[in-house]
Amino acid sequence: MKKVAGYPDSLTDKQFHYCPGCTHGIIHRLVAEVIDELDLKEKTIGVAPVGCSVLAYEYFDVDMHEASHGRAPAVATGIKRVHPDKFVFTYQGDGDLASIGTAEIVHAANRGELISTVFVNNAIYGMTGGQMAPTSLEGQRTTTSPFGRDVKEAGFPIKMSEMLTELDGSAYIARVSVHDPKHIRKAKKAIKKSFEIQLEGKGFSLVEVLSTCPTNWGMKPLDAIEWLKNNMIKTYPLGDLKTPEGVE
């Protein structure tokens, strides 16, 4: 009999601390399932960020290294250079990757560092209490943009994935969402492709995953899903943004 679903080996049995309706849990599961499917559990080193997923090292049942805010790509670079035969991924939020860690992600991508990044974008700082992120949408109300993000004052929603496609070292860049089962399946496919890109030595790979934050958006979980679908995707269009030649 073929097993079609189950709890991934690469997740510990520790209960997630994430808020109800937050999609980090789904994304963790997808990452763990891909690690299992590619048989990477015993050769993976994951790098956890600072932000809501700061405790990711408690959930992924693989070797983990907890980085400082924004520096996960630098930490991952150090690890990968020491263990080029191992699989190294970073798991980062948008405050981490798109604000304080812009230099680290840009240069890791530009070096074609053989690491894979899972970039969870929920357009807000969650852990610290709902502050405006560089990814917050125009007009989005947060604790530090209480009247809505004014792009004249606070700049525009930053499109990290599009920026990273311009670098010669990046091989695969995709943006996905996890707001419904169909998109969750697509997200997993993209994560798998990005991990395979690393294993094949093709270059840096990143999957941006649009994610919800009902708590700090001030919405019920279902409303947050709707808001993601109706607002975020307009600013952050989905799809493979960069794919190496010869890769489906």
Nearest to 118 by CA among 100, 91, 80: 91
Minimum distance from CB of 103 to other proteins (Å)? 5
Minimum distance from CB of 76 to other proteins (Å)? 6
Number of H helices and E strands in the chain, helices first, is 11, 7
Q: Cβ(95)–Cβ(63) under 8 Å?
A: no
96 binding other proteins? (CB under 8 A): no
Dist. CA 228–CA 248, nearest whole Å: 27
Per-residue contact flags (x/-) with other proteins for residues 5 to 44, judged by CB under 8 A: ------------------------------------xxxx
Q: Which residues contact 230 (CB under 8 A, 6 or more apart)?
A: none
Of the pair 103, 199, the CB lying nearest other proteins is at 103
Minimum distance from CB of 227 to other proteins (Å)? 30
Helix (H) or strand (E) holding 189: helix 181-199
Minimum distance from CB of 106 to other proteins (Å)? 8
Minimum distance from CB of 220 to other proteins (Å)? 28
Dist. CA 170–CA 162, nearest whole Å: 11
| Structural tokens at position 78 | 């150090």
Of the pair 79, 118, the CB lying nearest other proteins is at 79
Dist. CA 164–CA 8, nearest whole Å: 31
Q: Which of 8, 32, 34, 77 binds other proteins (CB under 8 A)?
A: 77
Q: Which of 31, 35, 47, 132 binds other proteins (CB under 8 A)?
A: 47
Largest CA distance in the chain: 59
Applying CB under 8 A, the site for other proteins has a residue count of 33
74 binding other proteins? (CB under 8 A): yes
104 binding other proteins? (CB under 8 A): yes
170 forms bridges with which residues in the sheet? Answer: 204
Angle, in degrees to the nearest 10, between helices 24-37 and 181-199: 50
Of the pair 36, 226, the CB lying nearest other proteins is at 36
- Applying CB under 8 A, the residues found at the interface with other proteins are 41-45, 47, 54-55, 57, 61-68, 71, 74-79, 81-83, 86-87, 103-104, 106-107
